[in-house]
Amino acid sequence: MAISEVKSLVQALSKEYNSPNPDLAKCGQYLSKLKIALIELQYLTHEDRHNNIEELTLARDVLEIGAQWSVRTKDIPSFERYMAQLQTYYNDHRDLPPSPLEYNLIGLNLLCLLSQNRISDFHTALEMIDPEQLHNNPAIQHPIKLEQSLMEGSYNRVWSSRSDVPSKEYLFFIDILMDTIRNEIASCSEKAYTSLPLKDAGTLLFFTNMEDILNFAQERNWKVNPAEQKAYFHSDADEKISIPADQIIKQTMFYARDMDRIV
């Protein structure tokens, strides 16, 4: 496929994607066609095409739309693939004109890592971002603040962050994040309270109707007392402290072996 054909395809794709009601299935078809075309143009192995800025920009645009499209179709593995390919364009081709979507997508990627609880990857990705952008770009600041609130335990703030997302693609990941948070809160509550009125549990967990609360309580094995409208958590006081015999034997054998070596 010649470069002019690719160009017209890209135009068709971006027109479809940016329309108010994009046909996602159609975009998918365009994308798979474009990917084949790009492979023919060797967009992944462009060692000798280092200077062809036009082609590289084209390839980057396709990948960017692809990444956003993956979020819309809720396909996380595909999103991660697109992001991995885009990293080359963001890091190694600094001579390209900067993309307006770059930090938006990086922010999305951060959120994606966060929603899967991959904290160490999250921080590694954070280090790669230019410090200037790190402090000032709202798309980047959003996931950073989110991570801080998560680490502290200010789940309230995570919940309210839904309202001020930089772009609507963020919502998808925040929704995933909410499930994670609910489980976090539940596990904290189990340790922190001996009992909790069901209604308060509902507010803590951001549930609005009673049925959801009861279902959730059942899922986490809470003892619900219908008369009192309270949930009881099993306390860990009755857990037995076992003697770690296995571990101590291993350690003692280790000492013996090393002592033997010294003597």
Partner 1 sequence: MSEAPRRSTRLNKNQEEDSKGKAKAVDQDVEMEETPDAAAAAGSKSTVLGEKELEALVIADIKQHFALFTKSAKTHEARFAIRALRSVSSLRKRLTAQALARTIASSYGKDDEARKRLLGYLGPDVLSSITPADEVAVTKLETPEVDVYLHLLVMIYLLDQGQLEKGIELSNITVHMVQELNRRSLDQLAAKVYFYYSRFYELTGRLEEIRPTLLNAQRTATLRRDDDTQSTLINLLLRNYFHYNLYDQADKLVSKTAFPENATNNQLARYMYYLGRIKAIQLEYTESHQCLLQAVRKAPQNNVTAGFQQEANKLLIIVQLLMGEIPERSLFRQPMLRKPLAPYFQITQAVRIGDLNKFQETLATHSATFNADKNYTLILRLRHNVIKTGIRMISLSYSRISLRDVCLKLHLDSEEDAEYIVAKAIRDGVIDATIDHEKGFMRSKENVDIYSTNEPQHAFHQRIGFCLKLHNDSVKAMRFPLKTVNQDAAEVEAARDQERNLVQEIAEADEDMDEDHGEL
62: number of Cβ within 10 Å? 24
Q: What is the distance, to the nearest Å, from the Cα of residue 19 to the centroid of all Cα atoms in its chain?
A: 26
Task: Find the shortest distance in angstroms from Cβ 226 to partner 1.
Answer: 18
Consecutive H or E run containing 131 = helix 131-136
Work out which of 12, 16, 193, 206 binds partner 1, going by CB under 8 A: 193
User: By CB under 8 A, is residue 179 in contact with partner 1?
Assistant: no
| 49-88: contacts with partner 1 (CB under 8 A) | none
Contact, 79 vs 67, CB < 8 A? yes
Site string for partner 1, 145-174 (x = CB under 8 A): ---x--xxxxxxx-----------------
Cα 257 to Cα 216: distance, rounded to the nearest angstrom: 52
- Residues in Cβ contact with 33 at an 8 Å cutoff, skipping those fewer than 6 apart: 9
Judged by CB under 8 A, the residue of 51, 117, 136, 187 near partner 1 is 187
Which of 103, 87, 170, 161 shows the shortest CA–CA distance to 136?
103
Q: Does 131 bind partner 1 (CB under 8 A)?
A: yes
Among 194, 215, 218, 225, binds partner 1 (CB under 8 A): 194
Residues 232-251 binding partner 1 (CB under 8 A) are 244, 248, 251
CA atoms within a 13 Å half-sphere pointing along the CA-CB vector of 47: 1
Number of residues that bind partner 1 (CB under 8 A): 43
253 contributes a contact to partner 1 by CB under 8 A: no
Least separation in angstroms between residue 205's CB and partner 1 is 11
Burial bucket for residue 80 (CB in 10 Å: 0-12, 13-18, 19+):
middle
Residues in contact with partner 1 by CB under 8 A are 91-92, 119-120, 123-128, 131, 134, 144, 148, 151-157, 184-185, 187-194, 196-197, 200, 204, 244, 248, 251, 254-255, 258, 261-262
